[in-house]
Structure 1
Amino acid sequence: MPSTDEDSDSLASAWEQADDPRRVAHELVGQAHAVLVLAYRDAAIELWCVPELRESAVAATPYLWIAIGEMQAAIAEGGLDEGLLAGGIGGKVSRTKRGALRLALERLASALVRQPPFGIMAGVPG
């Protein structure tokens, strides 16, 4: 079946929505949040945080989650749109960056799942 102008317009609109700075920023903040959640699991924190600082690092997590929520709210309000675009968040140029980040995060999660004895994702629905 031949493509129509309407199909082309719909595809272009989908790409524009995918490149929307707010949507991209939400995606990136969500990915960062996921990394932090993984990093603060007991089996993972041992890999990056010296024992003397673990209690303080864990005590700071509520502040991290609040900051992430506030960041998501600020993004949703739209007041950061120009700054996001100026910083390379959104638009066609960000597609490659997002793809590379997504691949790196997938590799990180995969490596963490393989940590002995059961991985830090044990018991987490997938």
Structure 2
Amino acid sequence: MIYLDHAATTPLDPSVLEEMLPFFGELYGNPSTLYSLGQAARSAVDTARDRVADLLNVPSREITFTSGGTEADNLALRGVLCEVRPDRRRLIVSSVEHEAVLDTAHFLERHGIPVTVLPVDGDGTVQPDVLRKMIGT
């Protein structure tokens, strides 16, 4: 079988499975609690955060783990727009974005953020001149 849906999910690398096995068994604690099992899980999350931060050459405090793509999309879009001056808040997305992005865009639009949805050509590509025009307006 040839699997072509890696955007949705992908086979787990055996080395990743090996690293994760303890958390499916004896280290299943909630990392947001104070009991020892939770604190062991918290330590593992903090170690993972440090490793990712080192790979990206950023401070650990800049790494946020989410439950998946939808939560990450929401966090990114809402977070960025909250940091922009109110008179400069605007979102431009393409018409072929993932539903999580489009749903968040519609939510933001209902809450007063101007949203522009860019069309794409037959290949699913945003035309740079159309994007430039939208950025300029």
Q: Same fold (TM over 0.5)?
A: no
TM-score by length of 2: 0.23
Please tell me whether Structure 1 or Structure 2 has the larger radius of gyration of its CA atoms: 2
TM-score by length of 1: 0.24
Higher strand share: 2
